[in-house]
Amino acid sequence: GPLAAPLVIRGGGAAAVELALALRARGFEPRLRLRGDQLRLGSSAANRSGEQLLRAAGIPVERQCPENAPADLACTGSVAPPWLAAAGLPVDPSSGRVLTEASLAVCGHPRLFASGDCALIATDPRPASGVWAVRSAPLLAENLRRSLAQRQRPLRHWHPQRRALQLLGDGRGRAVAFYGPLSFGPSRWIWRWKDRIDRRFMAGFAPATAMAAAEPMACRGCAAKLPGPPLASALARLQGDGQVPPAEDAVRLDRNSTGAWLLQSVDGFPALVDDPWLNARLTTLHACSDLWASGAKLHSLQALVTLPEASAALQEEWLVQTLAGVRSVLDPLQVPLLGGHTLEARDGAGLALALSVTGTALQPNPWPKGPLQAGQVLLLTRPIGTGVLFAAAMAGVADPTWIDAALETMQQSQAPLVELLASYGVQACTDVTGFGLLGHLGEMLAPAQQLELDVAAVPVLPGALSLLEQGMTSSLAPANALALAQLEPEGSVRLRGAVTAAQRQLLVDPQTCGPLLAALPAEQAEGALEALRCSGFSEAAVIGRVLSNP
């Protein structure tokens, strides 16, 4: 029903007028406050029509109000952010919008482009409007492609239309049309026209959710690895005897001069994020976790960098950022990047990074994956859920705060955990990566061995369970689901308490930069858990215990 006091709206332009009319039609008593005298609807004819609509609706208009006049709602309109001018870019003095050439390249900065409400063509200015922002998009995309191509081509010039049609609803099923000095309406047929245009525009944002649930895009990061069945089959055929070789996180090479085992592993994947520095940091931390899961400290590293086709200057920058991201992991550990190799991707392939990592075991023997022993407990060093989170990010349906939280966790180096876990008698360990928690747990178990898993104790990244409940999954998760057979009555893993469908899917969610999963004596669990949390791994948890030996 109507409010006891008027609802004050501060601002001008079509948004403020349309909002005031819509609220009035719903029983509210809005009041409009303007900083100037005019509604700023783009033309004198539009302003006159807007004033008539407001008078007919009985909406008071206050003029020449101070900028900070109190209001319940503020319609600021299109305002250029102040950092554009603060960054030293050429801007229009009255609006703060970036000045560009007709090619949409920023004046004086030929490699920087701007369009839409933040920009203004210096020689052919237009008022801020979604019409020009949308219609400039195809030319902007084409000029970006031309500027990045190895063979430079002249940039195209955009010649925007002189006027744009504007449709304004009155909140009562009618609308007014403005075009330059002309005004039409209010009319119901104009409203139906406007409604159809608006709904078609909004529908363009809907397919991402449906596509994500029905046909997920192929995931990147460690979720891009080959599913288990074809991998195992190929390895069995190469063995000649049909047996799959034992899976270890890192292979033993030889002993060094001090008698310590040298270990080596290799890992890599298509870029998980667009930032080459951040992607390289994540890939390096992920690759090194194979050594840390074997109880080894990092000795050296080599890199294979695949760069997209682009200009030489851009490829140089990508390579610099990628290698700097690798070194952001190595330098604090005083580990050298020995060298590597570069390739140029073809057929539209993007950035990819693969790493060969070498380490030295701190114990007389590296930690194996298993077999586990009765009485041991399983400790997980940090949360899981990256697979479904980044699948949702690719589909455009992930809350950005969830991705930020995941990246913060993923960027934490687990190098300090090697000595810490060793001091508490860790006897077996692995890292949780592409095959998910249950898949990697299965590699630790011997045939006929029994283990109790407390799924409620498994730490989860924010948003992961919510997405799984909505039916979202990583594209590798269906193949990983074969590991769910371990949860059957005759399987090797017994669940403690009730488990939801989303929690079951979490167990096979592929991980990038996943946690370590360590087996240690039960009497050491409490001390190890406290030490982990004091070392910055606040969500570490004991998630299970071994019930029997094979």
Query: Which residue ranges form the domains of the chain, and what is each CATH number?
Result: 7-76+167-202 (3.50.50), 83-148 (no CATH), 214-240+368-550 (3.90.650.10)
Collect the ranges in the chain with pLDDT lower than 70: 1-6, 12, 42, 77-78, 127-132, 204-217, 222-223, 241-247, 550
Can you give the pLDDT at residue 51?
A: 82
Give the per-residue pLDDT at 542: 95
Q: Which two structure tokens, joined as six digits, stand for 470?
A: 């909505």
How far is the first Cα of the chain from the last one, in angstroms, to the nearest whole number? Answer: 71
The pLDDT value recorded for residue 205 is: 65
- Residue 114 contacts residue 98 (beta carbons within 8 Å): yes
Q: Show the DSSP H helices in 358-497 as ranges.
A: 386-395, 400-410, 417-423, 436-444, 464-469, 477-480
Give the chain's radius of gyration (CA, Å).
Answer: 30
Check residue 206 and give its pLDDT. Answer: 60
HEC letters along 49-95 = HHHHHHHHHCCCEECCCCCCCCCCEEECCCCCCCHHHHCCCCECCCC
Alpha-carbon span 227 to 212, nearest angstrom: 20
Task: Return d(Cα 459, Cα 479) in angstroms, integer.
Answer: 23
CB 390 within 8 A of CB 514: no
pTM, entire model: 0.66
Whole-number pLDDT of residue 311:
85
Length of the chain (residues) = 550
The pair of structure tokens assigned to 270 is 């298509």
pLDDT at 461: 96
The CA distance from 253 to 255, in Å, is 7
Q: Quick one: which of 374, 377, 367 has its CA closest to 526?
A: 377
Q: State the pLDDT at residue 213.
A: 44
d(CA 515, CA 412): 10
